[in-house]
Amino acid sequence: MSTKTTETGANSPLPVLLPFRIEPTRLSVPRLAPVHALLFGAGLALLAGTAWAQADAAQLSPLEVIIKWAPLLLSGFAFNIVISMVAMALGTAAGLGVGLSMLSEKPLIARSAWALTQFFRNAPWLVLLFFVMFLVPFQITVFGIKIPLPDWAKATVGFSLPVMANVAEIVRGAVRSVPSTQWEAAESLAFTPRQTMWRIILPQCVQRMLPPWMNLYSLVTMATVQASIVGVSEMLTLTAQVHTAEGGRPELFAPLYGFALLCFFLYCYPIDRFTARLERRFHIR
Partner 1 sequence: MDVIPAWFQELYETTGLNFTVFYDPYDWHRYVDGLRMTCLLAVTTILVSLLIGAVGALLQTAPSRIVRSVVNVYVVVFRNTPPLVQIFFFYFGVGAMLPAGQDQFGLRQPFIDNVEWAIIALSLFAGAFNIEIFRSGVEAVPKTTVEAAEALGYTRLRAYVYVILPLALRVCLPALNNNLVNLLKTTTLAYAIAVPETLYAVKQIWSESQNVFEMMLVLFVTYGVLVGLLVWIMHRWEKALRIPGYGR
Output the smallest distance, CB 70 to partner 1, in A. Answer: 16
Tell me how far apart the alpha carbons of residues 92 and 216 are, in angstroms, rounded to a whole number.
Answer: 10
Helix, strand, coil percentages in the chain from 3-state DSSP, rounded to 5: 70, 5, 25
Tell me how far apart the alpha carbons of residues 220 and 125 are, in angstroms, rounded to a whole number.
Answer: 10
- Applying CB under 8 A, the span of 4-12, 17-25, 89-97, 106-114 interacting with partner 1 comes to 17-25
Q: Which of 3, 12, 39, 46 binds partner 1 (CB under 8 A)?
A: 39
Query: Does 38 contact partner 1 by CB under 8 A?
Result: no
Site for partner 1 in 155-214 (CB under 8 A): none
Site for partner 1 in 123-142 (CB under 8 A): 123-127, 130-131, 134-135
Q: Which of 251, 274, 278, 279 binds partner 1 (CB under 8 A)?
A: 251
Output the smallest distance, CB 185 to partner 1, in A. Answer: 26
Name the residue type at position 146: K
93 vs 115, beta carbon nearer partner 1: 115
Output the smallest distance, CB 134 to partner 1, in A. Answer: 5
Estimate the crossing angle of helix 62-102 against helix 107-122, to 10 degrees. Answer: 160
92 vs 221, beta carbon nearer partner 1: 221
Tell me how far apart the alpha carbons of residues 264 and 80 are, in angstroms, rounded to a whole number.
Answer: 10
Which string of b and e fits 127-150 if b means at least 16 CB within 10 Å?
ebbeebbeeeeeeeeeeeeeeeee
Site for partner 1 in 46-105 (CB under 8 A): 51
90 vs 136, beta carbon nearer partner 1: 136
- Applying CB under 8 A, the span of 90-98, 142-150, 199-207, 245-253 interacting with partner 1 comes to 245-253
Tell me how far apart the alpha carbons of residues 252 and 248 are, in angstroms, rounded to a whole number.
Answer: 7
Q: Residue 121: exposed, middle, or buried by beta-carbon count in 10 A (0-12, 13-18, 19+)?
A: middle
Q: Would you say 170 and 209 are in contact if contact means Cβ atoms under 8 Å apart?
A: yes
Q: Which of 6, 10, 15, 20 binds partner 1 (CB under 8 A)?
A: 20
- Applying CB under 8 A, the span of 101-109, 183-191, 196-204, 268-276 interacting with partner 1 comes to 268-276
- Applying CB under 8 A, the span of 3-11, 206-214, 222-230, 277-285 interacting with partner 1 comes to 222-230
Q: Which residues pair with 142 in a beta bridge?
A: 145
- Applying CB under 8 A, the span of 1-9, 181-189, 205-213, 256-264 interacting with partner 1 comes to 256-264
Tell me how far apart the alpha carbons of residues 113 and 237 are, in angstroms, rounded to a whole number.
Answer: 36
Q: How far is CA 189 from the centre of its chain?
A: 40
Q: Would you say 160 and 87 are in contact if contact means Cβ atoms under 8 Å apart?
A: yes
Give the residues lining the site for partner 1 (CB under 8 A): 19-20, 22-23, 25-27, 29-30, 32, 36, 39-40, 51, 119, 122-127, 130-131, 134-135, 218, 221-226, 228-229, 236, 250-251, 253-258, 260-261, 264-265, 268-269, 272
